[in-house]
Structure 1
Amino acid sequence: MIQQILSFLLQVVATLVGGAALLRLAMRWQRMSMANPVGRFVRALTDWLVLPLQRLLPPGNRFDAASLLAAFIVKLLHYGLLLALLGLLGAGGWASLPVLALLGVVRLAVSVMTALVIIAAILSWTQNRTLVTDVLDQLTAPWLAPIRRIVPLVGGVDLSPLVLIVLLQVVGMALGGLQAGLAGGWTVAAA
C-alpha cells in the first residue's frame, strides 16, 4: 500500500514538472510569450530546474535544450526512484534507465499533447476567447492542421481533435510496450 502511494505521488510530481518543462519547450518553439497565464504557470513550475540548466545550455532562437534536459532529468529521477522503491534496479537495471527515461519523455510529450487537445476542444465549445484558449489553439494548431486537411467536417463538427487523440493514444501504447520490454515486463506508469 505504501509503495502504491509513493509510486502515485512520484508519478504526479514527475508528470506535473516534466510536462511543464515540455510545455515550456513547445512554447519556446512556437515563439510564444511566457507572460500569459499558461506561461506564468509553466515558469512557476520549472524555473527552479530550467534556469540553472540554461546557464549550461543557453536557449537558441527557437529551441530550448535546457527545458528538454529538465524533462529528461525529471523522468530519469522518476524511474530511478520508482525502480529502486520496487527493488527492480539490479545490476542491469541501471543500464536501461536512460533509455526508459528517454521513452518516458516521449510518452510524457504524448500525454501533454493529448491533454492540450482535449482541453482546447472542450474550451472551443464555449466560444469564449481568452488568453488560455489562444495559447492552447496556438500549441495544438500545428498538430491538427494536417489532419484537418484530410478529415472533412462531419455535420459541421471538426473531428480532427478526436483523430489526433486516437493517434496519440496508439503512440503512447507502443511506447509503453517498449518501456515494459526494457523494464523486464514491469509496466511503467502512464507517463
Structure 2
Amino acid sequence: MLYQIVSLLLEVVTGFLSGACLLRLYMQYQRIPMSARSGNPLGRLVFALTDWIVLPLRRVLPSVGALDTASLVAAYLLQLAEFGLLWLLAGAAGGLFAVPILAGFGVLRMAISGMTGMVIVYAVLSWVATQSVVADVIERLVAPPLVPIRRVLPLVGGVDLSPLALLVILQIAAIVLGHLQAAALMAF
C-alpha cells in the first residue's frame, strides 16, 4: 500500500513537472511568446515550474535549431528520477538497465498524454465563444497536428471532426507505445 501511495505521488509530481518541460519545449518550437510582457499566463506558469531545471541545463546544452534540448533533457531527467526512485523503493528488483528505458518511454507517454489533454481542451473551448489568451495559445499548439487531418477529413454537416480523429490517432499511438515498452523490457 505504501509503495502505491508513493508511486502515485511521484507520478503526479514528476508528470506535472516533466509535462511542463515538454510544454515549454513545444511552445518554444511553435514560437509562442511566453514572457510576462506577452500576457500569456500559461507561458508564465510553464516558466515558473521549469526554470529551476531548464536554465542550469541550458548552460551546458545548446538548442539545436528550434529544438530546446534543455527542456527535453529536463523532462527525461525527471522521468529518470521517478523510475529510479520507484526501482529503489521496490527493493532494486530487476535490472537497473530498465530504468533509463522506462524514462524514455515515460517522456513519450507524457507527450502523447499532453497532446491528448490539449486537444480535449481545444475541443471544449471551440464549443464556446471565448476570447482568452489561453484559448488562443491552445489553438496555436493544437493546430499543427490538425492541419494534415483537415486536408484528408472534410467537414461533416459543417462539423470539424479533426480533433476527434486526432484523439483516435493519439490513443492508437499510446497503445503502440505500451506494446513497444513491454517488448523492450521483455527483450532484456
TM-score (norm: length of structure 1): 0.90
Aligned to 1:52: 56
Shift of 1:60: 4.8
Change in Cα spacing, 1:40 to 1:167, as seen in structure 2 (3 Å) is same
Aligned to 1:115: 117
Shift of 1:87: 3.1
Of 143-152 and 174-183, more deviation after overlay is shown by: 174-183
Alpha-carbon deviations, 1:27-80, whole Å to 9, x = none?
Answer: 110111113111011111111110100111133552110000000001111111
Alpha-carbon deviations, 1:107-150, whole Å to 9, x = none?
Answer: 11000000011011101111112110111011111000000111
Q: Distance in 2 between matches of 1:147 and 1:118?
A: 16
SS at match of 1:33: coil
Aligned to 1:18: 18
Task: State the identity %.
Answer: 52
- The CA RMSD measured in Å over matched residues stands at 1.6
Q: Please, which of 143, 146, 164 is the counterpart of residue 144 of structure 1?
A: 146
TM-score (norm: length of structure 2): 0.91
Q: Provide structure 2 residue ranges, at least 5 long, that are not aligned to the other structure.
A: none
Change in Cα spacing, 1:88 to 1:154, as seen in structure 2 (3 Å) is farther
Amino acid at match of 2:7: S
Shift of 1:169: 0.9
Q: Aligned runs of 1:119-130 on 2, under 5 Å?
A: 119-130=121-132
Aligned to 1:77: 81
Count of residues paired in the alignment: 183
Q: Provide structure 1 residue ranges, at least 5 long, that are not aligned to the other structure.
A: 186-191
Shift of 1:179: 2.2
Shift of 1:159: 0.8
Amino acid at match of 2:13: V
The answer as to whether partners of 1:100 and 1:182 remain within 8 angstroms in 2 is no
